[in-house]
């Protein structure tokens, strides 16, 4: 059985992942008059470069067994995320945001990029897990999913949901908070690279993104099994990004003078 408290926390994480980016857009729309265009471009960047192009490369790499060592796979995954998402930002900003290179435009782009990630992965993901949890509690899980996924996958999903705790499940909401803050920071670094015509800042964004994702990559290949360490690192990284976001407003002002 999946406890009701775990289901409630999954519902909270799903709702938070949907409402937080919407609330963030409304806040900056009223405060800084951000426009919709960079938000939409941020959404498209995530979908095209992360969910399509990056995943196609992952399929190619895994189908051809190009990387088998766990540590190398963690490094590869972190770098792939950094390269595809940050280069994607740079290309889209360079092509379609020639007149939108202010601090508020970077914020708007980050809201779109991080917001759609939260909605697609965390909101919809948690809703799917709630559906699975209800099936498990009704005794219909295996019957419903039989033939639709490998038996090992079905068993792993069931095991993870039954063993889940409210504390661990609540991390989903905090993770989205941290991720969106990080995407705001990355977008500001890349748009600064475009505005200042200094590609070195794109490289900085790629490396920073890879560093952020590396502990999660280690956890994925079971080299690092302490989820609290992974999330703690993510929290510290996002706090550093939040400090940068606040201070960067002055940096953009100085660039305009």
User: 52-62: per-residue pLDDT in tens?
Assistant: 999 999 999 99
What's the number of CA atoms in the CB half-sphere (13 Å) around residue 124? 7
Q: Which H or E run contains 102?
A: none
Say what the pLDDT of residue 146 is: 85
- % of residues, the chain, pLDDT over 70: 100
Parse the chain into domains and list their residue ranges.
4-125+170-256
Say what the pLDDT of residue 230 is: 95
Average pLDDT over residues 154-170: 91
- Can you list the pairs that 153-156 forms with residues at least 24 positions away whose Cβ atoms lie under 8 Å? none
In the predicted structure, residue 90 carries a pLDDT above the cut 70 = yes
Q: Which residues contact 58 (CB under 8 A, 6 or more apart)?
A: 80
Say what the pLDDT of residue 179 is: 97
Tokens of 105: 């435009």
Say what the pLDDT of residue 202 is: 98
Q: Which residues contact 188 (CB under 8 A, 6 or more apart)?
A: 103, 106, 107, 110, 244, 245, 248
In the predicted structure, residue 76 carries a pLDDT above the cut 90 = yes
Q: How confident is the model at residue 148 (pLDDT cuts 50, 70, 90)?
A: confident
Express each pLDDT in 99-112 by its tens digit.
999 999 999 999 99
146 burial level (CB within 10 Å; 0-12, 13-18, 19+): exposed
Q: What is the DSSP string of 184-235?
A: HHHHHHHHHHHHHT-THHHHHHHHHHHHHHHHHHHHHTTS---HHHHHHHHH
Average pLDDT over residues 197-208: 97
Tokens of 82: 């950094």
Average pLDDT over residues 188-200: 97
In the predicted structure, residue 131 carries a pLDDT above the cut 90 = yes
Q: How confident is the model at residue 149 (pLDDT cuts 50, 70, 90)?
A: confident
Q: Which residue has the tokens 């475009």?
A: 194
Q: Which residue has the tokens 């090992």?
A: 152
Can you give the pTM of this predicted structure?
Answer: 0.95
Question: Mean pLDDT of all residues in the chain?
Answer: 95
Express each pLDDT in 225-242 by its tens digit.
999 999 999 999 999 999
Say what the pLDDT of residue 168 is: 87
Say what the pLDDT of residue 257 is: 66
- % of residues, the chain, pLDDT over 90: 90
Q: How confident is the model at residue 170 (pLDDT cuts 50, 70, 90)?
A: confident
Average pLDDT over residues 191-201: 96
Find out whether 82 and 207 touch, Cβ atoms under 8 Å. Answer: yes
Say what the pLDDT of residue 190 is: 98
């Amino acid at each position: 059985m999946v406890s009701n408290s775990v289901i409630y926390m999954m519902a909270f994480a799903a709702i938070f992942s949907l409402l937080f980016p919407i609330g963030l857009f409304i806040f900056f729309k009223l405060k800084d008059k951000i426009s919709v265009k960079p938000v939409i471009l941020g959404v498209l960047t995530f979908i095209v470069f992360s969910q399509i192009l990056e995943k196609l490369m992952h399929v190619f790499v895994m189908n051809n067994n190009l990387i088998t060592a766990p540590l190398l796979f963690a490094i590869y995954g972190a770098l792939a995320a950094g390269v595809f998402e940050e280069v994607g930002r740079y290309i889209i900003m360079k092509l379609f945001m020639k007149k939108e290179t202010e601090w508020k435009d970077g914020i708007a782009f980050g809201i779109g990029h991080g917001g759609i990630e939260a909605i697609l992965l965390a909101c919809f993901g948690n809703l799917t897990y709630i559906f699975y949890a209800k099936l498990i509690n009704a005794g219909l899980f295996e019957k419903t999913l039989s033939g639709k996924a490998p038996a090992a996958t079905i068993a792993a999903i069931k095991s993870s949901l039954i063993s889940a705790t409210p504390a661990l499940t609540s991390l989903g909401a905090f993770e989205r908070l941290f991720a969106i803050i990080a995407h705001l920071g990355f977008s500001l670094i890349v748009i600064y690279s475009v505005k200042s015509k200094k590609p070195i800042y794109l490289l900085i964004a790629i490396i920073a993104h890879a560093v952020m994702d590396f502990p999660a990559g280690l956890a994925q290949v079971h080299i690092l099994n302490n989820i609290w360490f992974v999330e703690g690192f993510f929290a510290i990284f996002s706090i550093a990004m939040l400090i940068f976001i606040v201070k960067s407003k002055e940096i953009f002002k100085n660039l305009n003078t």
